[in-house]
């Protein structure tokens, strides 16, 4: 099966897109997908539904779920499919997208588009499951199908915009243009020099590590520096800590902080400093931020929190979590 002959594999994972009722909750696949098929059946695309068992509110997603989607797509890729659209909830969409983008970084002939919606496809309180024509859901999906058919790469598509899946973030909990990110990078399709059987053989170990991996965040607040140091020490049982600082990555300097960073780095815990600001990223322009990089902290540059998490998770479960492999931009 060549890429041009391959249908687009659609993965339904729940989220707002397929939710119904009050309060909203995701409909089971056997109820929702027949309704959806009546819509995508009107397009020019040949769509194949992949059997996915992970259907839930995205706020409940775990590393094991992320690896489950990786397994599903990798298995279909091994069987000859090259084009995929994944519908998921928006709360963790950016985290999942970044993870999958790193996981499939070497698959140069693959097209994967992650999408969702801010309003359900169906009218929430209508018992006969009628289409909500004011929803953003169908536009997001139909445009994602177009993108998957035309371009190679891993993307987030939302509200008429296509983003690089490694660099997106949800910034609005209500509006349809809920995401920002780096512009999508379209790559020319080329057969990758990879053996998918090797990747499939690695799956059992990835699944096992995903069940036990721990990544924590520490959010900087204007408390006594000793409080922040205590929070860092409480994260010593993790593989990585995302340290969310002020402005350009600034945080208070104290001997307690220096000692805490030393204890974590001695234990092999990766510490990545980012910013609570939506735009701008981190830099070393201020003494209030630059000091930490002399004590083992890794720079995040322009990466968002979801981008950091997705990259760290992939590096952790593949046992490549080192400064050498870390990419801050």
Is residue 196 annotated as a catalytic residue, yes or no? Answer: no
> 273 is in which domain, residue-wise?
214-326
CB contact set of 125 (below 8 Å; sequence gap of 6+): 21, 22
Mean pLDDT for 261-270 is 97
CATH value at residue 276: 3.40.50.40
2 is a domain residue: no
Provide the Cα torsion 46, 12, 155, 196; round to 10°. -80
Tell whether the model's pLDDT for residue 6 goes beyond 90. no
Interval 130-162: pLDDT, tens: 999 999 999 999 999 999 999 999 999 999 999
Total number of domains in the chain: 2
Residue 90 marked ligand-binding: yes
Model pLDDT, residue 127: 87
Task: Report the percentage of the chain scoring pLDDT > 90.
Answer: 89
Residue 91 marked in a binding site: yes
- Distances in Å between the alpha carbon of 79 and those of 89, 154, 158, 285? 27, 19, 28, 50
- Establish if 303 belongs to a structural domain: yes
Q: What is the pLDDT of residues 31-84, one digit of tens each?
A: 999 999 999 888 889 999 999 999 999 999 999 999 999 999 999 999 999 999
Flag whether pLDDT at 319 surpasses 90: yes
Same domain (yes/no): 246, 187: no
pLDDT score recorded for residue 31:
95
Q: Which residue has the higher pLDDT, 59 or 191?
A: 59
Residues 131 and 237 in one domain: no
Of the residues 2, 4, 16, 196, only one is catalytic, namely 16
Q: Closest by alpha carbon to 297, among 186, 190, 218? A: 218
Q: Is residue 278 marked as binding? A: no
Q: Are 99 and 154 in contact (CB under 8 A)?
A: no
The confidence band for 5, taking pLDDT boundaries of 50, 70 and 90, is low
Residue 210 is predicted with a pLDDT of: 98
Return the CATH number at 148.
3.40.50.1170
Confidence of residue 4 (pLDDT cuts 50, 70, 90): very low
């Amino acid at each position: 099966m060549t890429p041009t002959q391959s249908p687009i594999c659609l993965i339904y994972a729940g989220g707002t897109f397929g939710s119904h009722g009050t309060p909203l909750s995701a409909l089971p696949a056997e109820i929702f997908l027949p309704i959806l098929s009546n819509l995508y059946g009107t397009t020019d695309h040949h769509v194949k539904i992949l059997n996915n068992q992970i259907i839930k509110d995205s706020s409940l997603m775990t590393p094991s779920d992320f690896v489950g989607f990786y397994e599903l797509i990798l298995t279909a890729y091994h069987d000859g499919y090259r084009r995929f659209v994944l519908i998921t909830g928006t709360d963790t969409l950016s985290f999942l997208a970044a993870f999958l983008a790193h996981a499939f970084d070497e698959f140069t002939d693959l097209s994967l588009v992650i999408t969702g919606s801010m309003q359900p496809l169906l009218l929430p309180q209508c018992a006969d499951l009628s289409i909500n024509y004011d929803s953003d859901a169908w536009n997001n999906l139909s445009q994602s199908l177009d993108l998957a058919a035309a371009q190679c790469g891993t993307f987030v598509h939302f509200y008429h915009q296509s983003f690089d899946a490694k660099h997106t973030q949800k910034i609005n909990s209500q509006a349809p243009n809920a995401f920002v990110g780096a512009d999508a990078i379209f790559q020319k399709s080329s057969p990758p020099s990879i053996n998918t059987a090797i990747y499939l053989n690695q799956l059992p170990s990835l699944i096992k590590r995903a069940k036990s991996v721990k990544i924590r965040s520490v959010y900087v607040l204007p408390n006594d520096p000793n409080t922040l140091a205590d929070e860092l020490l409480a994260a010593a049982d993790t593989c990585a800590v995302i340290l969310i600082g002020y402005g350009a990555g600034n945080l208070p300097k104290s001997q307690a902080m220096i000692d805490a960073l030393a204890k974590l780095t001695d234990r092999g815990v990766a510490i990545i400093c980012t910013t609570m600001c939506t735009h701008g990223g981190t830099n070393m322009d201020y003494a209030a931020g630059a000091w930490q990089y002399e004590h083992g902290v890794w720079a995040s540059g322009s990466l968002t929190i979801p981008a950091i998490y997705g990259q760290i998770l992939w590096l952790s479960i593949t046992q490549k979590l080192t400064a050498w492999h870390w990419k801050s931009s």
